[in-house]
């Protein structure tokens, strides 16, 4: 594609050799004669001069066509400017850079395609260098302006105390983007486009103001910087982005060398080499100014804490047709509290999108580059129970709820369900306790519905239908992460609900006994989730409560054990703290009762946002309460245990834990740190009602047979 501008009028034309000037002239004025070229190449047009013939610079040797018979003048001879141009034209013709015009006197010359490409490449490269010089000067000016802006910003009354506190405590200063945007929109825009340079300017500004070096991180990035991992593209490289994502894999924290100071043994010269290789390979100096190559002495290493994690998109942020992707993330310096970042955590991650080389199997770099995030800020999306902010208005609502919390929860959650008061009470208490419940009864009487509602309002809850459940859906899939080198569990309901969550396993006896029931046994017995596949054995903590439902699978008779009737393995049956038997039924002869049920029936259970918020905050408040039992409490518990378990030689120690968990839940739902006499009476009545429901259910089933 021919360039639009005249090359002979450019600044580049005045800096190139005469030979290249000839090419530039022919590019602008094709089919020129030797005289035309001479006049344009040498506009002064001196008639003669005593010169040396220009040396041959091309690969092809060119012999001058002038008179060479005088061998004693050592190459000096009287030449005209036209002769000089003829020499250049001859050499260019031999190098196949120009063509001679045919049947023309005098001869005209034009460029070959090789020469055209050579000239255009040379001019484009020159233009690129000019742009880089201009850009560099612009950047330098922009950096100076940005540093001055940050100096003014950091000297403000609101920011200076925070900076001084960070310097004293050796912490990173967290820069609030929204505050900076309000102070100076231009600097905020520069931070979006050139985040690495802008943050360096901020650190320089603090160093110049306070004579101290601290790291500057970022929070509250703008909505325009939000991305899903699956949407990251080339246009985002070296830009500021933030992701709402889940930590899929986490390596152990390590120490990385960021730069090394070397010394030359020959001359004592010291050289600092920054370790920038993305593959982790150590970079050493290749040579010293004195001529020495290799075997340099290491004087000093600069080290930083380092953590590698892999994060993935949140399904809730994607459409049904979008595929979630993963990206590797680097966290340097332990300002991010490495120990509090765990697999499964949902985080808001602010960082700079970079590219790094990928290696082939033989260790050679490939043309494919891998996306990686350098972190400049990270926050957890899920609130910690000990850091939730409760308002005075919340506390006033709590006072009203504490008057009768069971009744308040029942009206909020189960107003449209009838004749299941015992199930409602136990399900409500499970929100505040740590025990496991098995709900038994015929189909269609409210087991699944009441349990599902509990999972929806729990601070951390999940409902799963075991009939259609897969091992990867419940337990998670074992995958090896190439970035961290570890096998991890990806997904899985149980893992996501750890810690203190509730998982409702509907139709537990219809799921696969090969993986589901043994996994539940490990969770309920040891609070661990163990997954064994091929040569991989993963064991992760899993402190959750299980609420399961089951229908009978075979006839109930005196020769069958209860766990066989309901299709459970015996150890799992014994691990449930409470077995809740449903004996309710709907009287279709009572028109008034049916009308009340129909009028209150909900097509879909969904609490208003304000009610959902208050019930979760009430649970969070209860999680902050540490229930203490005294010796007197232990004696009262012993009386309850004696009343219900005397003569039962198969119970062991498990009922002791069950009663303590139940009383702890009763205390927490009332926001009390110690049980009172009414709590023991309530626990006694509840256990008695459970025993009576069991007896009634068995009697009814035996009568049917």
- Listing DSSP states for 344-385 in one string gives T-EEEEEEEEEEEEEE-TTS-EEEEEEEEEEEEEEEESSPPG
Q: Looking at the structure, tell me whether residues 198 and 319 fall in a common domain.
A: no
Q: What is the pLDDT of residues 616-667, one digit of tens each?
A: 999 989 988 999 999 999 998 888 888 777 656 555 678 888 899 999 999 9
- How does pLDDT run across 327-355, given as a tens digit for each residue? 999 998 777 778 788 877 889 999 999 99
How many Cα atoms sit within 13 Å of 623 on the Cβ side? Answer: 21
- Closest to 686 in 3D by CA, of 481, 428, 508: 428
Residue 119 lies in a domain: no
Mean pLDDT across 678-692? 92
What number is the average pLDDT over the span 522-540? 81
Q: Of 196, 295, 325, 309, which is closest to residue 247 (Cα–Cα)?
A: 309
The C-alpha atoms of residue 96 and residue 92 are separated, in whole angstroms, by: 6
Instruction: Kindly report which listed range (116-125, 392-401, 428-437, 478-487) carries the lowest average pLDDT score.
Output: 478-487
Which pLDDT belongs to residue 320? 66
pLDDT at 385 exceeding the cut of 50: no
195 pLDDT band (50/70/90 cuts)?
very high
Query: Could you tell me if 364 and 484 lie in one domain?
Result: no
Look at residues 181, 196, 220 and tell me which one is the last residue of a structural domain. Answer: 220
In a domain, 1, yes or no: no
Same domain? For 264 and 296 the reply is yes
Of 70, 71, 51, 53, nearest in space to 62 by CA? 53
Verify that 53 and 192 share a domain, yes or no. no
Looking only at the bridges linking them, the beta strands covering 578-581 and 477-480 are unpaired
Q: Determine the Cα–Cα distance for residues 524 and 517; give it in Å rounded to an integer.
A: 10
Q: CA Rg, the chain, in Å? A: 40
Closest CA to 500 of 622, 614, 408: 622
User: Is the dihedral angle over the CA atoms 653, 658, 661, 663 positive or is it negative?
Assistant: negative
Q: Which of 535, 532, 530 is nearest to 520 (CA)?
A: 530
Are 485 and 629 contained in the same domain?
yes
Give residue 69's pLDDT: 43
Instruction: Determine, yes or no, domain membership for 26.
Output: yes
Averaged confidence pLDDT in the chain: 82
Last residue of a domain, one of 330, 348, 382: 382
- CB contact at 8 A, 579 and 535: no
Nearest to 74 by CA among 48, 50, 49, 47: 50
404: pLDDT confidence band, cut at 50, 70 and 90? very high
672 pLDDT band, cuts 50/70/90, is very high
Domain membership of residue 657 (yes or no) is yes
Residue 60 — very low, low, confident or very high, per pLDDT cuts 50/70/90?
very low
Q: Distance between CA atoms of 698 and 705, rounded to whole angstroms?
A: 11
Considering only 21-25, 188-192, 407-411, 698-702, which range has the smallest mean pLDDT? Answer: 698-702
Q: Are strands 98-100 and 108-111 parallel, antiparallel or unpaired?
A: antiparallel
In a domain, 118, yes or no: no
Where is average pLDDT lowest: 62-66, 384-388, 581-585, 653-657? 62-66
Asked whether residue 575 carries a pLDDT value surpassing 70, the answer given is yes
Domain CATH code at residue 193 = 3.30.1640.10
- Asked whether residue 658 is assigned to any structural domain, the reply reads yes
Is the same domain home to 11 and 71? yes
Instruction: Give yes or no: residues 374 and 233 share one domain.
Output: yes
Which helix (H) or strand (E) covers residue 299, if one does? strand 297-313
- 276 and 229 together in one domain: yes
pLDDT of residue 238: 93
Residue 428 CA to residue 665 CA, distance in Å, equals: 9
Instruction: Using a cut of 0.75, tell me whether the model's pTM lies above it.
Output: no
In a domain, 593, yes or no: yes
Distance CA 574, CA 568 (A): 10
Number of domains in the chain: 4
Q: Residue 352: which CATH number? A: 2.40.50.140
Between these two residues, 170 and 408, which has the higher pLDDT value? 408
What share of the chain has pLDDT > 90, as a percent? 27
CA nearest to 656, candidates 640, 668, 674, 673: 640
Read off the CATH number of the domain in which 556 is found.
3.40.50.300
Residues 106 and 502: their CA atoms lie apart, in Å, by 97
296, 288 contact by CB (below 8 A): yes
- Within a 10 A sphere around the Cβ of 157, how many other Cβ atoms? 6
Q: Which of 111, 136, 153 is the last residue of a domain?
A: 111
Q: Which residue has the higher pLDDT, 491 or 569?
A: 569
- Give the domain range for residue 28: 7-111
Query: Which tops the pLDDT comparison, 37 or 218?
Result: 218
Angle subtended at Cα 235 by Cα 232 and Cα 241, rounded to the nearest 5 degrees: 55
pLDDT value at residue 588: 59
Q: Is residue 117 part of a domain?
A: no
Same-domain pairing of 356 and 405: no
At 587 the pLDDT is: 57
* Cβ atoms 37, 21 nearer than 8 A: no
CB atoms under 10 Å from CB of 120, counted, come to: 15
Residues 21, 64, single domain; the answer is yes
What local confidence, expressed as pLDDT, does residue 438 receive? 94
Query: What is the per-residue pLDDT for 105?
Result: 65
* Same domain assignment for residues 356 and 461: no
One domain, residues 230 and 257:
yes
pLDDT of residue 99: 86
């Amino acid at each position: 594609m021919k360039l639009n501008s005249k090359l002979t009028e450019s600044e580049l034309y005045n800096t190139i050799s005469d030979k290249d000037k000839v090419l530039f002239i022919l590019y602008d004025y094709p089919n020129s004669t030797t005289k035309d070229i001479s006049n344009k190449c040498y506009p002064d047009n001196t008639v003669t001069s005593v010169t040396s013939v220009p040396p041959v610079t091309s690969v092809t040797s060119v012999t001058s066509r002038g008179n060479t018979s005088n061998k004693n003048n050592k190459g000096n001879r009287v030449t005209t400017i036209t002769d000089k141009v003829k020499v250049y034209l001859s050499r260019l013709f031999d190098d196949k850079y120009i063509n001679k015009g045919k049947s023309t006197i005098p001869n005209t010359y034009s460029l070959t395609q090789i020469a055209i490409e050579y000239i255009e490449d040379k001019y484009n490269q020159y233009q690129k260098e000019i742009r880089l010089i201009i850009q560099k000067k612009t950047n330098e000016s922009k950096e100076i302006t940005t540093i001055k802006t940050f100096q003014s910003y950091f000297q403000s009354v609101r920011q200076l105390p925070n900076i001084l506190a960070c310097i004293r405590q050796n912490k990173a200063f967290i820069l609030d983007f929204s505050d900076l945007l309000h102070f100076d929109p231009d600097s905020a825009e520069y931070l979006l486009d050139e985040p690495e340079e802008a943050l360096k300017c901020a650190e320089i500004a603090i160093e110049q103001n306070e004579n101290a070096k601290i790291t500057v991180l970022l929070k509250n990035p703008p909505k325009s910087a939000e991305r899903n991992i699956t949407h990251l593209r080339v246009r985002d490289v070296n830009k500021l982005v933030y992701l709402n994502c889940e930590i899929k894999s986490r390596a152990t924290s390590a120490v990385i060398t960021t730069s090394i100071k070397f010394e030359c043994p020959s001359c004592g010269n010291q050289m600092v080499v920054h370790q920038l290789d993305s593959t982790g390979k150590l970079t050493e100096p290749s040579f010293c100014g004195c001529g020495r190559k290799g075997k340099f002495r290491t004087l000093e290493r600069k080290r930083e804490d380092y953590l590698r994690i892999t994060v993935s998109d949140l399904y809730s942020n994607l459409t049904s047709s979008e595929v979630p992707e993963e990206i590797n993330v680097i966290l340097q310096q332990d300002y991010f509290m490495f120990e509090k970042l765990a697999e499964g955590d949902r985080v808001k991650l602010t960082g700079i999108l970079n590219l790094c080389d990928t290696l082939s199997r033989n260790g050679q770099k490939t043309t494919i580059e891998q996306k990686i995030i350098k972190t400049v800020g990270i926050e957890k999306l899920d609130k910690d129970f000990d850091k939730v902010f409760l308002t005075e208005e919340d506390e006033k609502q709590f006072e009203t709820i504490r008057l009768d919390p069971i009744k308040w929860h029942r009206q909020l959650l189960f107003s449209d369900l009838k004749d299941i008061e015992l199930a409602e009470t136990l399900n409500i208490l499970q929100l505040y306790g740590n025990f496991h419940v098995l709900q038994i009864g015929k189909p269609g009487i409210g087991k699944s519905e009441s349990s599902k509602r509990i999972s929806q309002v729990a601070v951390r809850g999940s409902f799963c239908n075991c009939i259609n459940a897969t091992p990867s859906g419940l337990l998670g899939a074992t995958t090896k992460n190439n970035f961290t080198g570890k096998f991890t569990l990806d997904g899985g309901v149980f893992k996501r609900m750890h810690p203190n969550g509730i998982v409702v396993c509907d139709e537990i006896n219809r799921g696969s006994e090969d993986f589901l029931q043994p996994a539940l046994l490990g969770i309920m017995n040891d609070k661990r989730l163990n997954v064994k596949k091929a040569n991989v054995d993963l064991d992760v903590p899993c402190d959750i409560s299980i609420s399961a439902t089951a229908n009978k699978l075979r006839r109930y008779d005196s020769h069958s054990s209860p766990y066989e009737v309901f299709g459970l393995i015996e150890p799992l049956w014994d691990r449930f703290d409470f077995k809740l038997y449903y004996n309710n039924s709907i009287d279709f002869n009572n028109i008034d009762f049916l009308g009340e049920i129909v009028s209150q029936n909900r097509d879909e259970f969904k609490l208003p946002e304000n009610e959902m918020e208050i019930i979760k905050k009430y649970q969070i408040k209860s999680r902050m309460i540490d229930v203490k039992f005294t010796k007197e409490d232990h004696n009262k518990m012993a009386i309850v245990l004696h009343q219900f378990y005397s003569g039962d030689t198969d119970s062991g120690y498990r009922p002791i834990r069950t009663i303590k968990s139940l009383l702890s839940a009763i205390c927490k739902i009332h926001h009390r740190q110690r049980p009172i006499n009414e709590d023991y009476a309530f626990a006694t009545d509840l256990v008695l009602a459970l025993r009576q429901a069991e007896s009634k259910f068995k009697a009814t089933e035996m009568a049917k047979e």
